[in-house]
Structure 1
Amino acid sequence: MNLPNKLTMGRIFAIPVFIVVFLMGYRYVATVIFILAAITDMLDGKIARKYNLVTNFGKLMDPLADKLLVMSALICLAQIGDVPGWMVIIILGREFIITGMRQVAAAQGIVIAAGTTGKIKTITQMIAIPLLLLNNWPFSLLSFNLPMDTIFLWIALVMTVVSGTEYIVKNKQLFSM
């Protein structure tokens, strides 16, 4: 197994650790675990492309690991009331729809690459979640408490809908096959 795939697997194995640590009430430790896992998301793709280590395993597992990490964190945050459940449902629904479309496309030899709006969605999620985990720190220290956690969550939600719509519109031919 090459390094990018090991990083992806490390991210997958970090998910249950994150969940247990978070549910035990260690939000700061959970945040560190989440951030380290998010960094591996950035690294594995860069390393795979730079050193020509792209594999079918990585193509399948890397996006799955990302989705599992984000959804685990959002569900944990929803469970304790820090994120509205309806937002998690919208984000989760988009992920299921796009993943299903990618599987249908792959069966037909079509690759649906990640678009710019999908990448922005992921980035805003990866910013929103640590802010939510840390109760909006460091912005909570400001005298006017700028709610950056909520702002980034809303941006992530909007980008979820926009990118999902974009994927569906650009790949509508998959629905007629």
Structure 2
Amino acid sequence: MNLPNTLTLIRIAMIPLFMAFLLVKMPDGTAYFPYQDFVAAGIFSLASATDGLDGYFARKLKQVTNLGKFLDPLADKLLVSAALIALVELNLVSAWIVWIILAREFAVTGLRAIAAAEGVVISASKLGKLKTVTQIIAIALLILRDWPLSTLNIHIAQPMIYLALIMTIISGVDYIMKSKQLFVRSK
């Protein structure tokens, strides 16, 4: 197992730990220990950082593998999906926003599967990468409930999740428009 794939597997393994810190509470709904949300946000941020690291090391060490091409986007989708679903459970984000984001992820994954069957590789676009960054920032801000900005009565988590939603839609449309030739090919 090479370093990039190991980092990806670590990201996947961190998801249950992140979920436990985010969701497991005392029977009265309070945290088991102080700063539990900070620990959850830290685990989420660390897991998110491994996304950039695994790609960097895969290219730098020339260790790009088919397993990595499969696992890396899967790990990203699992982490973001888990976080968004947990945030719905915590009433920190609306379910309709999460539904649109997840629908886009399924659609792009399906599009990539169709492309792969045709021998076409659809790489992550700059818009797709920007979408991921906005989602990660929005999720972290929601987990932390805008801390430290909330101490100054500044709240940007909700606007950030709307920005992430807009980027999700734009990047999804971009992938579809760039791949429309896959839908018109004759058999």
> TM-score band, normalised by the shorter chain?
over 0.9
Shift of 1:117: 1.0
Does residue 1:86 correspond to 2:91, yes or no?
no
- Tell me the residue number matched to 1:16: 16
Pairing of 1:22-171 with structure 2 (within 5 A): 22-25=22-25, 26-142=36-152, 145-171=153-179
Which SS does the other structure have where 1:58 is aligned? helix
Identity of aligned residues (%): 54
Q: Please report the TM-score for the alignment, with normalisation by the length of structure 2.
A: 0.91
Aligned residue number for residue 2 of structure 1: 2
Q: Give the TM-score taking structure 1 as reference length.
A: 0.96
User: Which residue type is aligned with residue 14 of structure 1?
Assistant: M
- Structure number with higher helix proportion: 1
- Aligned AA (1:146): I
Unaligned runs of 5+ in 1: none
Q: CA deviation at 1:146?
A: 2.2
Spell out, residue by residue over 1:80-99, the C-alpha distance to the aligned partner (whole angstroms, 9 max, x if none).
11000000000000000000
1:16, distance to aligned residue in structure 2 (A) = 1.2
Instruction: Give the number of the structure whose alpha-carbon radius of gyration is greater.
Output: 2
Structure 1 runs of 4+ with >2 Å offset: none
**Cα offset for 1:32?**
1.0
The Cα of 1:19 is off from its aligned counterpart by 1.1
Q: Secondary structure at 1:64's aligned position in 2?
A: helix
How far the C-alpha of 1:158 sits from its partner, in A, is 0.2
Q: CA RMSD in A?
A: 1.0
